[in-house]
A and B are shown apart, each in its own frame.
Chain A
Amino acid sequence: MGSAAATEAPGLSCAHCGLPVSVAGARDLDDVYCCHACRVVALIIGKQQDEQGRNLLRLGFGTLLAMNIMMISLMLYSGSVEAQTIPVFRLVLLGLATPALAILLPPFLSGALRECSAKKVSLDALIACGSLAAFLVSAVNAVRGSGAVYFDTATMLPVLVTFGKIIESCAKTRAADLMHSLESLLPDSAQRVTPAGGEEVPVAALRPGDLIRVRPGERIAVDGRVREGSSCIEEAAFTGEFLPRLCCPGDSVLAGTINGTGSLLVQAECTGAELLLHGMVAMIKAAWCNQSRAERIAERAATLFIPVLLILASATLVCWSLLGEPGQGLLSALSVLVVACPCTMGIATPLATSLAIGRAARSGIVVRGGSVLEQMARTDLIFFDKTGTMTEGRPVLQEIQVIDDTVQQNELLGRLAVLESAGGHVLGRAVAAEASRRGCGGGSVAQVQVSPGLGMSGQVTWQGTTRQVTAGTASFVSAAGVARPEAVSPAGEGDSSVIEVAWEGRLRGRLLFSDAVRPLARECVELLAGQGICSVLLSGDRLPAAARAAAQTGIARVEAPRSPAQKLQAITGSVAAGSCVAMVGDGINDAPALAAAQTGIAFCAGTDLARQAGNVVILSGSLMQVPWLIGLSRQTAHIIRRNFAWSFGYNSVALLAASLGLLHPLLAALAMAASSLTVLGNSLRISGYPDEAGLRQQPPVTGFQQSADQSSSIS
């Protein structure tokens, strides 16, 4: 799914703010803009440095003229000017307004013509028409020496709208900054090590298999493995974790992370477009083009908004004219056009979604689209896979049981460690680690026989004495003819994995292993409960092992053992029962279950993002990012709802007041600017959403009472 989305990404960006633009919305591929605000601002400010200088001077000069016109008008309104000099002041206003409009209106007219050629009417066209109409009426009246003049309205309108649009496009640039900051993580060059020595080459010239020398403080240029040296690597850009990770030979490293004080020799595994960093950027670009339901509603509303506005403005003009006040009708119609704030629909909703996706990416989480965020905000039931998700996914030695009193624990452990060194079983690595920690390893093994999945045997020499050691499951050891004391029953279906160890025909002891629960797993479940979400452990492991993990993490409901098909059935059943389900699991092994849930959250251990199932990929191993992300999605949904409510309330009241003649066009323009800033500022709050540590200190977001009720019934 993710790979598909990534390949569908058009790869086009707004020429002004840099946000991705879908091909459908772009008519001219050489000059693509995401919205009218960016197009107008690009026209006003310009894209090239020289062009910007000239255009800013024009904008500044036009604004100065408009401000002077406003000041003179205010003096006239307040009666501070002698009556006989008023005609002169009106001509001065005409003299100032003419160049002001010649400077300020062309970008609006250009945009209006462009939209007209596409058989569309934009708000820019309405503002240009309104401003010109006000100017022409005022010019005629000023020359005639009678009648009202509206030079202040005609000139301040484009000024206010222009600065409003600059602020809008600045807000969007903030969202696009994330993309640029991710792309700028890669260094320009790297030191490639060849038999002939080291050479500095551009990053684009690196290929898989190349050896790269990473000096202290440098950014790593490839995804690969450490071959020599050890150092602490700062991976905050990918995992949101600010504590550096110690990397030794054999450990994997990612391009864009920062090397600490050590020098590393890294062998490249992925380079160029295959880098995880580029995968993330491609996915976020695709996610920004994948609209949420709220965004689709907002877009449709924005499309309908302008025709409705035109009808309302026309009706206002006609009604006032029929009442015998065409001048008031013109002002009111202009107020209607100006006061309307389509910002919530056109800008604030997609901005909120983009910022939320960007905020998640800043913490090392890839969310594949606004619709995913929407679904996640509604989650009331969450399934966790056990092995590798709630647990570390690697067994640790839990207990050593000595059955034969003549044998010490260290001998049991040491002989088994030597035997397992020839096998490479996952349990054997846990034994070797413990033996190494106790300092009882060391020895040799010969004549090894391995029965895959059951056990192994061999001649083990440990501290100078050689024994024929057999180790494995109880049935394997019994089948090898080992005598079992009567008091000792075979290892049963407990909650741990067991290795029985025997030599010289006698059972000597047992080693019990368990899969350790991830740190903060219990806190994660508690936070989810605080958010009104019921957690369920869905495991393919034996029930005792799953129940033990559930007890350790505080999960009340356990479903185990479940085959992949049964996992799928459990999720589809819950979805059919009306729950909004999220599944957290391994991105590759749990792919069917992740795909069946409304939100599939995958923990990505490797660098192959495209192979990861699920519409959310968490690059760090931190379970705490699950409730954090749900909190972020709920905050986003809350902000979008509030923006919609504000927009509906504001537009209803403001349009009514404007059509009734209660709102002067200038006050209308100020109200529109204030409304735009309110919704944009509201959306921008998402970028300041606290990180995990901040979330733990805050009370949980509990806006979903319905979810809480439902989860309690499931439990």
Chain B
Amino acid sequence: MDTMGHHIWIGFAGGLLGFAHCLGMCGGFVLHLALRKDGTRMLSGQLLWLVGKLSSYLLLGAAAGYAGGFLGHLLLRQGHLQNLLSFAAGALILLMGLSVLGLLPVRGKGSRGAWENLLATLFGTFLTGHSPGAALTLGIATGFLPCPIVLAFLAYALQSGSVAAGMVTMGALGLGTAVPMLLLSGATRLSGIHLRSWAPKAGGIILIAFGVTTALRGTTIYHQLLGCPAQHAVATDAEKSCWTGELHGKRSGD
């Protein structure tokens, strides 16, 4: 069941369905890059932005998969805690879904604005020019924005317990969100429609359903319903990853 194709489709579908929310966060950057009058430079800028963002997603996916594999290996030794990773990942995805729907409590008034201002200044540094370098750096930085959808799929990558699975999931998510956004930025360029008016609520509902499913993967009932053998999927990826327990001492090629 946990094949690479499975992760790719989950990531890509998540990106496609959640892209309306991503427009709220990244739509401004895409529109900024779409403002260039020269069509070739606009395209190259957007592609570089996409490459930067995708690379960040891939790195995050790899790191999450690596961490998940390590945690899974540890939990495998504690038989009764095997399902913990699925439950935690499911809960996080659920929370992110609620966050997208605006159902989580907001922060206190005192601290509001400081980080937003800092991020705005940081991104303003990369937005000052229309150079390809600015687009690439902006894309890399955009990939690290703490978007609820990214956090949710990072939780999924963590739960997969595999570097490769994490990378393909996040890579597919990046493509799933970016491709429609780039297409729509082209439409904006042509028609001048306002993308931010799109409601991102659909993404939140999808995430909640996804979170519940991920959490259920840790239960025996779920696997019995699907006719799976008694082994849990959580352990499968971790077992594939050949963990030896020597994380930092064992370097490549040692």
CA of A233 to CA of B117 in the docked complex: distance in angstroms? 29
B37 at the interface (CB under 8 A from A): no
Which one, A63, A71, A149, contacts B167 given CB within 8 A? Answer: A71
Q: How far is the CB of A167 from chain B (nearest CB, A)?
A: 6
A489 at the interface (CB under 8 A from B): no
Chain A residues whose CB sits within 8 angstroms of the CB of B126 once the complex forms: 56
Chain B, residue nearest A90 (CB):
B253
B121 at the interface (CB under 8 A from A): yes
Which of B88-96, B134-142, B179-187, B189-197 makes up part of the contact surface? Answer: B134-142
**Are A78 and B243 interface neighbours, CB within 8 A?**
yes
**Are B55 and A68 interface neighbours, CB within 8 A?**
yes
B28 at the interface (CB under 8 A from A): no
Which one, A57, A75, A79, A145, contacts B133 given CB within 8 A? Answer: A57
Q: How far is the CB of A662 from chain B (nearest CB, A)?
A: 9
**Are A53 and B133 interface neighbours, CB within 8 A?**
yes
**Residues in B102-142 with C-beta less than 8 Å from chain A:** 109-115, 117-118, 121-122, 125-126, 128-129, 131-134, 136-137, 139-141
Chain A, residue nearest B141 (CB):
A163
**Interface size range of chain B in the complex:** 35 or more
Chain B, residue nearest A156 (CB):
B59
CA of A68 to CA of B62 in the docked complex: distance in angstroms? 10
**Are A170 and B118 interface neighbours, CB within 8 A?**
yes
Most chain B beta-carbon contacts within 10 A, residue among A71, A148, A149, A690: A71
Which of A454-462, A613-621, A679-687 makes up part of the contact surface? Answer: A679-687
Which one, A53, A60, A90, contacts B140 given CB within 8 A? Answer: A60
Most chain B beta-carbon contacts within 10 A, residue among A55, A77, A145: A77
A396 at the interface (CB under 8 A from B): no
B241 at the interface (CB under 8 A from A): yes
Chain B residues whose CB sits within 8 angstroms of the CB of A49 once the complex forms: 128-129
Chain B, residue nearest A665 (CB):
B248
**Are A77 and B252 interface neighbours, CB within 8 A?**
yes
**Are A167 and B122 interface neighbours, CB within 8 A?**
yes
Which one, B52, B131, B242, contacts A53 given CB within 8 A? Answer: B131
Chain B residues whose CB sits within 8 angstroms of the CB of A80 once the complex forms: 162-164, 241
Q: Known A77-B247, A170-B125; judge A60-B137 contact (CB<8 A).
A: yes
**Are B122 and A78 interface neighbours, CB within 8 A?**
no
Q: How far is the CB of A48 from chain B (nearest CB, A)?
A: 10
CA of A80 to CA of B251 in the docked complex: distance in angstroms? 13
CA of A45 to CA of B127 in the docked complex: distance in angstroms? 12
**Are A67 and B125 interface neighbours, CB within 8 A?**
no
Q: Known A74-B62, A74-B63, A685-B114; judge A166-B122 contact (CB<8 A).
A: yes
CA of A63 to CA of B128 in the docked complex: distance in angstroms? 19
**Are A173 and B128 interface neighbours, CB within 8 A?**
no
CA of A163 to CA of B141 in the docked complex: distance in angstroms? 9
B66 at the interface (CB under 8 A from A): yes
Which one, A56, A149, A167, A687, contacts B136 given CB within 8 A? Answer: A56
The proximity string for A residues 73-100 relative to B, scoring 1 for CB distances below 8 Å and 0 otherwise, is: 1111111100000110110000000000
Q: Known A56-B133, A71-B59, A170-B121; judge A78-B69 contact (CB<8 A).
A: yes
Q: How far is the CB of A370 from chain B (nearest CB, A)?
A: 20
**Are A64 and B140 interface neighbours, CB within 8 A?**
yes
B250 at the interface (CB under 8 A from A): yes
Q: How far is the CB of B46 from chain A (nearest CB, A)?
A: 14
Chain A residues whose CB sits within 8 angstroms of the CB of B86 once the complex forms: none
Which one, A55, A60, A89, contacts B252 given CB within 8 A? Answer: A89
B56 at the interface (CB under 8 A from A): yes
Chain A, residue nearest B52 (CB):
A60
The proximity string for A residues 25-51 relative to B, scoring 1 for CB distances below 8 Å and 0 otherwise, is: 000000000000000000001000100
CA of A689 to CA of B108 in the docked complex: distance in angstroms? 12
CA of A60 to CA of B139 in the docked complex: distance in angstroms? 9
**Interface size range of chain A in the complex:** 35 or more
Q: How far is the CB of B18 from chain A (nearest CB, A)?
A: 23
The proximity string for B residues 67-111 relative to A, scoring 1 for CB distances below 8 Å and 0 otherwise, is: 001000000000000000000000000000000000000000111
The proximity string for B residues 222-254 relative to A, scoring 1 for CB distances below 8 Å and 0 otherwise, is: 000000000000000000011110011011111
Q: How far is the CB of B125 from chain A (nearest CB, A)?
A: 6
Q: Known A71-B167, A79-B241, A684-B118; judge A64-B136 contact (CB<8 A).
A: yes
Chain A residues whose CB sits within 8 angstroms of the CB of B56 once the complex forms: 67
CA of A680 to CA of B122 in the docked complex: distance in angstroms? 14
B212 at the interface (CB under 8 A from A): no
CA of A146 to CA of B253 in the docked complex: distance in angstroms? 7
Chain A residues whose CB sits within 8 angstroms of the CB of B253 once the complex forms: 76, 86-87, 90, 141, 145-149
Which one, A63, A68, A166, A681, contacts B125 given CB within 8 A? Answer: A166
Chain B, residue nearest A59 (CB):
B137
Chain B, residue nearest A83 (CB):
B253
**Are B55 and A64 interface neighbours, CB within 8 A?**
yes
A52 at the interface (CB under 8 A from B): yes
A58 at the interface (CB under 8 A from B): yes
CA of A687 to CA of B116 in the docked complex: distance in angstroms? 12
**Are B121 and A174 interface neighbours, CB within 8 A?**
yes
**Are A90 and B252 interface neighbours, CB within 8 A?**
yes
Chain B residues whose CB sits within 8 angstroms of the CB of A694 once the complex forms: 109
Q: How far is the CB of A497 from chain B (nearest CB, A)?
A: 47
Chain A residues whose CB sits within 8 angstroms of the CB of B121 once the complex forms: 170-171, 173-174
CA of A343 to CA of B139 in the docked complex: distance in angstroms? 27
A70 at the interface (CB under 8 A from B): yes
**Are B112 and A688 interface neighbours, CB within 8 A?**
yes
B51 at the interface (CB under 8 A from A): yes
Most chain B beta-carbon contacts within 10 A, residue among A56, A76, A79: A56
**Are B110 and A58 interface neighbours, CB within 8 A?**
no
The proximity string for A residues 674-700 relative to B, scoring 1 for CB distances below 8 Å and 0 otherwise, is: 000000110011011110001000000
CA of A89 to CA of B252 in the docked complex: distance in angstroms? 9
A54 at the interface (CB under 8 A from B): yes
**Are A58 and B133 interface neighbours, CB within 8 A?**
yes
A61 at the interface (CB under 8 A from B): yes
Q: How far is the CB of A607 from chain B (nearest CB, A)?
A: 32
Chain B, residue nearest A694 (CB):
B109
Most chain A beta-carbon contacts within 10 A, residue among B111, B112, B129: B129
Which one, B51, B110, B163, contacts A74 given CB within 8 A? Answer: B163
Chain A residues whose CB sits within 8 angstroms of the CB of B141 once the complex forms: 163
CA of A75 to CA of B62 in the docked complex: distance in angstroms? 8
CA of A149 to CA of B110 in the docked complex: distance in angstroms? 47
Q: How far is the CB of A336 from chain B (nearest CB, A)?
A: 15
Chain A residues whose CB sits within 8 angstroms of the CB of B51 once the complex forms: 64
CA of A49 to CA of B127 in the docked complex: distance in angstroms? 11
CA of A166 to CA of B121 in the docked complex: distance in angstroms? 10
Chain A residues whose CB sits within 8 angstroms of the CB of B139 once the complex forms: 60
Which one, A53, A59, A71, A170, contacts B122 given CB within 8 A? Answer: A170
Q: Known A59-B137, A167-B122; judge A688-B62 contact (CB<8 A).
A: no
A-B contact pairs, 10 of them (CB 8 A): A60-B136, A74-B62, A74-B163, A75-B163, A90-B253, A149-B251, A163-B141, A170-B118, A171-B118, A685-B114
The 6 closest A-B pairs by CB, nearest first: A57-B133, A53-B131, A56-B133, A60-B136, A76-B252, A79-B242
* Other A-B pairs beyond A74-B62, A76-B253, 16, CB < 8 Å: A49-B129, A52-B129, A53-B132, A59-B137, A70-B59, A75-B62, A77-B66, A78-B69, A78-B241, A86-B253, A145-B253, A147-B253, A148-B254, A171-B118, A689-B110, A690-B110
Give A contacts to B, CB under 8 Å: 45, 49, 52-61, 63-64, 67-68, 70-71, 73-80, 86-87, 89-90, 141, 145-150, 163, 166-167, 170-171, 173-174, 664, 680-681, 684-685, 687-690, 694
